Amino acid sequence: MLNFFRYAMDNQEQKHQRRVRYKGTHPRTYKEKYKELQPEKYADTVAKVIQKGSTPAGMHRSICVKEILEFLQITPGQIGLDATLGYGGHTLEMLKRLNSKGHLYATDVDPIELPRTQERLERLGYGSEILTIKQMNFSQIDQIALESGPLNFVLADLGVSSMQIDNPERGFSFKREGPLDLRLNPKRGISAADRLKTISVDELEGMLIENADEPHAATIARAIISGIKKGIDISTTTQLQQIIKDALKSIPAKNKDDVIKKSCQRCLQALRIDVNHEFAVLYEFLEKLPAALARGGRVAILTFHSGEDRLVKKSFQHFFREGVYREIAPDPISPSSEECKTNARARSAKLRWAIKA
């Protein structure tokens, strides 16, 4: 009888568990989009989502690929760095140009997405003989250069990956409720929710202005800090969104809903930049970059908001005047209208480049 009981229990544990079904005709939440999250298995579904101009859940569509490759002029045998690995879209295209000769280094701080990308690239045949991936901040480019030698080409795509934006558990978007975290590496530093508990009204106002050019910074900062002092919980993305909406509900504006939506997005951006020290990291990377480049080495940097673009522009101009760079982009390159139509997330991108003397 005891053996029969054990057999019954084992059989019950092994019984196939059906997937939780979603309501309606289309999946809405991140986890329900199981086909999009398995692009290797459901290629047709992924293709349909992309055809509609959307980005499939769990994926990222690289921006300005054609423009970046045309500038970098990668040839077999060169040594390069993808400073922001992400989903590996740019990485894959650069590896193709190397044609199994030379080496590509890639860095990323995200401990969740990095191993997934590495596994995808390995399945495509790009192992350690041609590709070295390190979980580290791209501000440590000097350490990469010590191992690699002078770099012939460098790419830094400063945008947040779609995988991070679409996953509500990361807290990078207001699309779905999630924890107000915003850390690129959730194992280091403090979350955005904890950051708000330690900041003053003046500090928060300054952060919103400096990191996101928020026009209603003072009003929003007062509302958030006042709410926290009153015991209002702001530990999720929707709770932050609601307190911003309440703070701006009386603003006189034709398109008030749109104005409030943009303020919410800018506040999330400002907090993300703050908790990840993004401007300090970018500044350090830009300062170390010339020393890491070979003579004639090329660097392309893709930015997604004015604060980033200003830092890149000023750095390139400074080193150009000093004679460190022999040529820099006279103006930023924007994605084509066709790319913006098929990928809405490309609209705010700006590409700048420089060539070392």
Q: Write the DSSP string, 41-66.
A: T-HHHHHHHHHTT---TT----SSHH
pLDDT computed for residue 23 by the predictor = 57
Q: Which two tokens stand for residue 97?
A: 């140009």
Helix, coil or strand: residue 342: helix
With bands split at pLDDT 50, 70 and 90, how would you rate the model's confidence at 27?
A: low
Q: Is the pLDDT of residue 168 over 90?
A: no
With bands split at pLDDT 50, 70 and 90, how would you rate the model's confidence at 325?
A: very high
pLDDT tens digits for range 33-88: 444 455 555 555 544 444 454 455 456 588 999 999 999 999 999 999 999 998 89
| Measured distance CA(32)–CA(236) in Å, rounded | 21
Q: Which has the closest alpha carbon to 180: 243, 99, 251? A: 243
pLDDT computed for residue 165 by the predictor = 79
- C-alpha torsion sign, points 319, 321, 322, 326: positive
Q: Which two tokens stand for residue 223?
A: 């509302």
Share above pLDDT 90 across residues of the chain, in percent, rounded to a whole number: 68
pLDDT tens digits for range 179-188: 999 999 999 9
Catalogue all structural domains in the chain, each as residue range(s) with its CATH number: 65-162+279-356 (3.40.50.150), 185-275 (no CATH)
Q: Is the pLDDT of residue 155 over 60?
A: yes
Give the mean pLDDT of the chain. 86
Residue 250 has phi, psi (to 5 degrees) of -100, 5
Number of alpha carbons in the 13 Å side-chain half-sphere of residue 309: 15
| Measured distance CA(186)–CA(166) in Å, rounded | 16
Q: Nearest-5° angle of CA 66, CA 69, CA 73?
A: 145
What is the rounded radius of gyration, in angstroms, for the C-alpha atoms of the chain?
23
Q: Tell me which H or E stretch contains 352.
A: strand 350-356
Q: What is the mean pLDDT of residues 125-144?
A: 96
Q: Which has the closest alpha carbon to 355: 317, 330, 328? A: 328
Long-range contacts of 45-53 (CB under 8 A, 24+ apart): 50/342, 53/341, 53/342, 53/343, 53/344
Q: Is the pLDDT of residue 1 over 80?
A: no
Which residues lie closer than 8 Å to 290 by C-beta, 6 or more apart? 319, 324, 325, 356
Helix segments in the chain, DSSP class H: 2-14, 43-51, 65-72, 89-98, 114-123, 141-148, 162-166, 192-196, 201-212, 217-229, 237-247, 256-275, 278-292, 306-321, 337-342
Q: What is the mean pLDDT of residues 2-10?
A: 48
Q: What is the mean pLDDT of residues 100-114?
A: 94
pLDDT computed for residue 15 by the predictor = 47
| Measured distance CA(54)–CA(60) in Å, rounded | 10
Let me know: does 94 contact 75? Beta carbons within 8 Å: no
| Measured distance CA(237)–CA(192) in Å, rounded | 10
pLDDT computed for residue 34 by the predictor = 44
pLDDT computed for residue 137 by the predictor = 95
Share above pLDDT 70 across residues of the chain, in percent, rounded to a whole number: 83
Q: Is the pLDDT of residue 13 over 50?
A: no
